[in-house]
Structure 1
C-alpha cells in the first residue's frame, strides 16, 4: 500500500478534505492520511510515497524531516530543498530573466544588525546609502516587505519618503525589499498545480481577507488571461514548484508578477470560496495520486542547478537564435531540455 501523507498546521478545511477526496477515489493500492512522526531516526525512511507539505516553512523540524524523507525516495510537494533556498528577490530576478513583467524592486540592508553581528560585519556596505538612487529607481509609492516572508506579515504600504523611513525603522533585523506600487485595474491570484494546470481567480488585495476573492467577476480580455496563464506556468516551471499561487497586478494591460513564492498557498474553504476550494482539492488530489502511482525507484534529482539551468538555458537559447544554426549544438542536452520546458510555456 502506497501512502500519501498530508503535513499541516493550524488550517482546518483543506487537509481533511484532501485526505477524504483521495480516499473516496478508491484508487487501488493508494491511501491518504495525516502525517504522523516522532523523533526522526537517521536509519528509518518515512513511510510515505508522497507528502503534501503545508507547514514546514514555519517549523524547522518538519523541514528537516521532509529533506530526510526526500533523500529516501518520498516525493515532496513542494521540493523542500529548493523552498529552503528561494526568496522573493530571487523570484523577481528570475521573472525578469524569463521575460515576465515585474515592477522595479530593490533589496535593502538590515536596519538592525542580525544577531551575532556588528558594524564590522557590514564593512562591504556603502555608507551612507544612496537613498536618492533608491527613490529615483522605485519611486515614493511602493511596498516594503521581507525578502523571505508571507501571510502579509511585516508588509508596509508606502506613499512618501517619511512613510518609507518609518517602515524601515520598524523592520528590525529583517532583510526587506522595496517595490514600486502598481496602479492596477485588475488583479489575479492563480493556483498553479503540477506545472500544467492554472486556475485564475479575480482577487482584490485591498479588501478584508475574507472578501478578497471576487465573486461574479466581469469579463476579461482573453489575451490578458492567456498571458497571465503563460507567465504563471513559466515561473512555476522555472522554480520547480508543483503547487503555488502566482499573483498579477494589471496596469495598462500589462500583468506584473507581484507575488509567486507561495508553495503552501491559502486553500481555506471560507476564504477562497466553494468553487475555488473544490478545484484545488481535485487538482492536488490528481497530482498526489499520479506521483504516488509513478514514484521513482530512486530519489529524484533535487539539486538547485536543475532549476537554475532552466533560466540560463532560456537566455542562451535566445542568444543562440541569432547565431548560425551550427552554433546551437553547443548547448548541453540537459540545459536545452530545461530551456525548452520554459520557452514552451
Structure 2
C-alpha cells in the first residue's frame, strides 16, 4: 500500500478535502491520511510514498524530517532541499534570465547586525550604500518587503526616500527587497500544480483580504496563453510542483510580482468554491500520479531546470 500524506498546520479545509478526495477515488493500493510523527531516526524510511508539505516553512524540525524522508525515497511536494535554498531575490534574478518580466528590484543588507557579528564582519560592505543609484534605479513609489517569507508581513509602500529610511530603520535583522511599484490595470494569482496544470484567478490585492478573489478582470485568450506560459516557465525552472505566481499587468505586459509561494493559500473561504474545487481535484490527481511513479529507496524529488542544467553542463538559459 502506498501512502499519500498531508503535512499541515492550522489550516483545515484543504488538507481535509484532499485526503477525502484521494480516498474517494478508490485507487488500488493508494491511501491518503495526515502525517503523524512519533520519532525521526537518521536514515530510516518514514513509510510515506508522497508527502504534500504545507507547514515546514514555519517549523525547522519538520523540514529536517522531510529531508530525511526524501533521502529514503519519499516524493515530497515541494522539494525540501530546494525550498530551503530558495528566496525571492534569487527568483527575480532567475526570472530575468528566462525572459519573464519582473519589477526593478535590489536587495538590502539588514539594518541591524546579525547575531554574533560586529562592524568588523562587514569589511566587504560599502558604507553608506550607493543610495542615489539604488533610488534612481528602482524609483518611487516603491515597495519594501522581506527577501524570504510570505504573506504581507513587514511590507511597506514607500513614497519618498525619507519614508524609505524611516521604515528601513524599523526592519531589524530582516534582509529586505526594495522593488519598483507596478501600477497595474489587471492582477492575477495563478496556481501551478505539477509544473503543467495552471489556474489563472483574477485577484485584487487592493481589496480587503476576504474580497481579494472578488475581481472581474477578463483577459483575452491570447493574454491567458501568455500568462500560462510565464507561470509554466517559472515553475519548470524552479522545480516547484505546488506554487502560485502573482502577475500584475501593466500596459499589457504581465509582470511576475511574487512567485515564491510553495505553500500558497488554498483555504476554501479565501479562494472561493470554484478555485477550491480546482486545486483539490488537481492536487489529488497529481499526488496519485506521483505515488504511482514513486520508486522506494530512490530519489523521487522534483528538480528544476536551473539545477538540472547546472549539473549536466547544459547551457543554463
| Shorter-normalised TM range | over 0.9
Q: Distance in 2 between matches of 1:169 and 1:142?
A: 16
Q: Distance in 1 between matches of 2:184 and 2:41?
A: 51
What does residue 314 of structure 2 align with?
335
What does residue 290 of structure 2 align with?
291
- The 1:302/1:26 distance shift into structure 2, 3 A limit, reads closer
Q: Distance in 1 between matches of 2:218 and 2:241?
A: 28
User: TM-score w.r.t. structure 2 length?
Assistant: 0.96
Q: Distance in 2 between matches of 1:244 and 1:268?
A: 14
What does residue 320 of structure 1 align with?
none
Q: Distance in 1 between matches of 2:141 and 2:308?
A: 35
1:261 aligns with 2:240: no
- The 1:286/1:83 distance shift into structure 2, 3 A limit, reads same
Deviation at 1:228, TM superposition (A): 0.8
Work out the number of aligned pairs and report it: 317
Deviation at 1:160, TM superposition (A): 1.2
Q: Distance in 1 between matches of 2:4 and 2:256?
A: 32
Deviation at 1:296, TM superposition (A): 2.3
Contact 1:81/1:302 (<8 A) preserved: no
Q: Distance in 1 between matches of 2:223 and 2:257?
A: 16
Structure 1 unaligned spans of 5+: 314-331, 340-345
Deviation at 1:309, TM superposition (A): 4.4
- The 1:107/1:304 distance shift into structure 2, 3 A limit, reads farther
Deviation at 1:166, TM superposition (A): 1.4
1:105 aligns with 2:105: yes
Please, which moves more after superposition, 72-81 or 32-41?
32-41
Q: Distance in 1 between matches of 2:126 and 2:240?
A: 36
Deviations 1:72-117 (A, max 9, x none): 0000000000000000000000000000001110000110001111
What does residue 88 of structure 1 align with?
88
Deviations 1:10-55 (A, max 9, x none): 1111000110010001111000000000231124211110000000
What does residue 70 of structure 2 align with?
70
Find the residue that maps to 2:314 and give its secondary structure. Answer: helix
What does residue 140 of structure 1 align with?
140
Q: Distance in 2 between matches of 1:302 and 1:68?
A: 12
More helix by share: 1
Contact 1:246/1:259 (<8 A) preserved: yes
Deviations 1:162-214 (A, max 9, x none): 22111101111011010000010000000000000100000011111111012
Deviations 1:195-245 (A, max 9, x none): 001000000111111110125x24222222111110100000000000000
- The 1:23/1:305 distance shift into structure 2, 3 A limit, reads closer
Find the residue that maps to 1:164 and give its secondary structure. Answer: helix
Deviation at 1:302, TM superposition (A): 5.6
Deviations 1:318-338 (A, max 9, x none): xxxxxxxxxxxxxx6x737x8
Deviation at 1:301, TM superposition (A): 7.0
Q: Distance in 1 between matches of 2:198 and 2:148?
A: 24
What does residue 219 of structure 1 align with?
218
Q: Distance in 1 between matches of 2:205 and 2:214?
A: 10
Q: Distance in 1 between matches of 2:304 and 2:4?
A: 28
Contact 1:3/1:50 (<8 A) preserved: yes
